[in-house]
Structure 1
Amino acid sequence: MGPHRRHRTSLEGDIDLSESTWRPLNPVERGKAKAAFYDIVNHFDGSSNPTTEKPYSRTKLVRLTYEYSLSDDPRCPFLQEFLRFVNISIDDSINFDDKATVDEIRSGLNSFADFLLNNFFLPLKASAIKTPQPSPAGSSQAPSRHSALESRERVASLRRDCLIRDRHRCVISRNFDLIEADRRYENSGDDFALDDEGQLLIDQDPDSFAELEVAHILPHSLNTTTANPELNKSKAIALEILDMFDNGIVYLIGGPDIDRPLNALTLRIDLHRQFGSFKISFEAMQKSSYWSCWRSELYRGK
């Protein structure tokens, strides 16, 4: 292991990722950084004790967060920040037989996992179940009456656009929107109302209809401000971490763009709640139609 460098720890206070210096890595350096990352997580995966990993597996959180992040940024910010936390440089040779070294790396890994959990995953989960819906009671947490009205109008437009794109069906269960079905029955008559594929609605199972909601993928509240400076700071940190996962995505959802169809799905109400509680995940699939581009996984009892 190289010369001692003081590792970062979230226990010492807030860490401002905007101050992090993530220099571009050449292909050899990227390979070394990735190898060091997997050497570390594989070591602790193999030696972890479930009784000491409660309430969650920090090693697994770090590994899966890296593997599911989409960034092709040549700086490899996730890897560089991880190595900074565990106090390892790209060129270090790690001696896992040295207890002091292993203990220091474990401490840094745990701090990194806790930093991600406390500053990204938990705030994201807390706000993900609060997607505003296009109704007078909807709350955008916007700082003015005018901007609140604009926000509700955007969400109403978002619901319409998502329903059209998703053919008025939940992207998971395929339930047809009950409100839209009633509208089509009223306009066309019970015997002639069709779904978006041209099939008669009256011939479809009554249980195949449900009330649907627009569900933000990244929470609507991430781009709203409040009178609480600490909450605003927390949101800023979450966005910095998000940009570390997928460089440039913050600009795609900046301002009103967070209420665009790119950042939303049509879901049945109960599935929306489970999605917001991290009990459903989506995996991109390579197929043409939008609703077949996702595979949902429901995690029961977790």
Structure 2
Amino acid sequence: MKTDCLHRDDHRCLVTRSVDLYWKRAHRDLYPQGTVVDNTECAHILPHALGSFDPDRAQEVENAAIIWAALYKYFPALVGQIAPDTINCSTNGITLTATLHEYFGDFELYFERMEQPNTYRLVWEENFFEKAFAPKVITFAAKDPSVLLPNPDFLQVHCVIARILRVSGIDRKIDDMIEKSKMDDWHIRPDGGTDLAPIICRRLLMHV
């Protein structure tokens, strides 16, 4: 997935246009001196965790079914476009710097769809340093047309979730949960004892 998205996105962050550091080092002859580089990552638009569960564990299968049922209920445009086994498709990926990936994953940065195809307004929930240097509007274009661009419906879901998290205050509740639990990125205990459904469903609007 990362390789396909990097190739499609011209080995650059789609927001800052910084060239992937390791690609640039391996292809110095392609870029002029002074080209801005950064560590890039392939950010999942709909979280990778939605496709990560053990089919042999009944609780994980049940949790996944609940989460996907909620997604399809609230966002019917997703039906037939993405499922647990296609969560790593290139249309669900976007090349960002490591820092912007963190903001995007925390719904602090999102893309608001505009009328022109594949064109989005960047929305920042905080006055991050990178905001001053980022474009206000961005139009995606594929360097390699054989790799499909980020799916507008997936980005719209991300956008809607970000808005509702802010308006409802759920984001603050989740932050409190993280502080109290001291768990990892998805608040999952390493011993497998965490019930994922209440946590992820809150994140994905099941209880909004």
Asked if 1:299 is matched to 2:128, the reply is: no
Superposition map of 1:206-285 within 5 A: 208-226=36-54, 228-247=57-76, 249-285=78-114
Larger Rg: 1
Superposed displacement of residue 168, structure 1: 1.4
Task: Work out whether residues 252 and 258 of structure 1, in 8 Å CA contact, stay in contact via their aligned partners in 2.
Answer: no
- Aligned counterpart in structure 2 of residue 170 of structure 1, from 4, 7, 13: 13
Query: Structure 1: how far apart are the matches of 2:115 and 2:77?
Result: 23
Aligned to 1:103: none
Superposition map of 1:52-201 within 5 A: 158-185=1-28, 188=29, 193-194=30-31, 200=32
Superposed displacement of residue 265, structure 1: 0.5
Structure 1 residues 217 and 299 mapped into 2: Cα distance closer, same or farther (>3 Å)?
A: same
Structure 1 residues 244 and 281 mapped into 2: Cα distance closer, same or farther (>3 Å)?
A: same
Query: Structure 2: how far apart are the matches of 1:238 and 1:268?
Result: 28
Query: Structure 2: how far apart are the matches of 1:256 and 1:174?
Result: 30
Structure 1 residues 181 and 287 mapped into 2: Cα distance closer, same or farther (>3 Å)?
A: farther
Superposed displacement of residue 294, structure 1: 2.7
Letter in 2 for 1:295: R
Query: Structure 2: how far apart are the matches of 1:214 and 1:181?
Result: 17
The count of corresponding residues between Structure 1 and Structure 2 is: 127
Superposed displacement of residue 251, structure 1: 3.0
Letter in 2 for 1:297: V
Task: Work out whether residues 222 and 235 of structure 1, in 8 Å CA contact, stay in contact via their aligned partners in 2.
Answer: yes
Unmatched tracts of structure 1, length 5 or more = 1-157, 195-199
Task: Work out whether residues 50 and 84 of structure 2, in 8 Å CA contact, stay in contact via their aligned partners in 1.
Answer: no
Query: Structure 2: how far apart are the matches of 1:263 and 1:297?
Result: 19
Superposed displacement of residue 281, structure 1: 1.3
Superposed displacement of residue 243, structure 1: 0.7
Letter in 1 for 2:25: D
Superposed displacement of residue 224, structure 1: 2.7
Query: Structure 2: how far apart are the matches of 1:241 and 1:214?
Result: 25
Superposed displacement of residue 182, structure 1: 0.5
Q: RMSD in angstroms over aligned alpha carbons? A: 2.3
Query: Structure 2: how far apart are the matches of 1:180 and 1:243?
Result: 38
Letter in 2 for 1:213: E
Q: Which has the higher helix share?
A: 1
SS state of the match for residue 271, structure 1?
helix
- TM-score, scaled to structure 1: 0.38
Query: Structure 2: how far apart are the matches of 1:273 and 1:229?
Result: 31
Letter in 1 for 2:63: S
Unmatched tracts of structure 2, length 5 or more = 128-171, 173-208
Query: Structure 2: how far apart are the matches of 1:285 and 1:161?
Result: 25
Task: Work out whether residues 283 and 294 of structure 1, in 8 Å CA contact, stay in contact via their aligned partners in 2.
Answer: yes
SS state of the match for residue 87, structure 2?
helix
Query: Structure 1: how far apart are the matches of 2:89 and 2:10?
Result: 17
Structure 1 residues 296 and 229 mapped into 2: Cα distance closer, same or farther (>3 Å)?
A: farther
SS state of the match for residue 182, structure 1?
helix
Structure 1 residues 279 and 228 mapped into 2: Cα distance closer, same or farther (>3 Å)?
A: farther
